[in-house]
Amino acid sequence: MARLIRGSSLLLAVLWMAALFYLSSQPSLPTPQWFPHQDKLVHAIAYAILGALLLLCMPMKAGGFMPQQALAATLIASLYGISDEFHQSFVPGRQADVLDWAADTGGALLATLLLAWLTRRLIARQ
């Protein structure tokens, strides 16, 4: 069962990265503007999903996911965020933004640490 979850998570992570790449290839995205800097929240959520999927690709230890695994998943998501921002610098109408990358990394970090904490807490209760 654990292999199935890890394999499915890897497939979903790759598909999610492909979707992010596709979206960042668009000159503009028609999104309603509800509040200032909304795009940073969107980046954080998108990369929180990626970070969680990347963490779920890793083998869970007996006590749950370890903080080191959460940081490794965050690093991978962050590096993908850097590559995405670099890619956007070549797309007409788009630009690379270090604050977008910071939101990507922050979202991934928050999600992976939360998921690691939750798994450790749930397993400790059993």
Instruction: Count how many domains the chain has.
Output: 1
User: What is the structure's pLDDT at 2?
Assistant: 79
Going from the first residue of the chain to its last (126 residues), give the mean pLDDT of each consecutive group of 10, the final group possibly shorter.
89 98 90 89 97 96 93 98 96 94 98 96 88
pLDDT at 32: 84
Q: Where in the sequence is the domain holding 73, given as residue range(s)?
A: 2-24+38-125
> What's the pLDDT score for residue 92?
94
29 lies in some domain: no
Residue 74: C-alpha distances to residues 35, 89, 92 (Å): 27, 23, 29
Separation CA 116–CA 123 (nearest Å) = 11
Position 8 scores a pLDDT of 95
So what's the pLDDT on residue 82?
Answer: 98
Is residue 32 assigned to a domain?
A: no
| Per-residue model confidence as pLDDT tens digits over 62-85 | 899 999 999 999 999 999 999 999
In a domain, 31, yes or no: no
Residue 43 lies in a domain: yes
Tokens for 111? 């999600």
pLDDT reported for residue 39? 92
| Joined tokens for residue 34 | 């509800």
Spatial distance between the Cα atoms of 70 and 74, rounded to a whole number of angstroms: 6
Which parts of the chain fold into alpha helices (H)?
Answer: 2-24, 38-56, 67-88, 98-125
Residue 58 is predicted with a pLDDT of 96
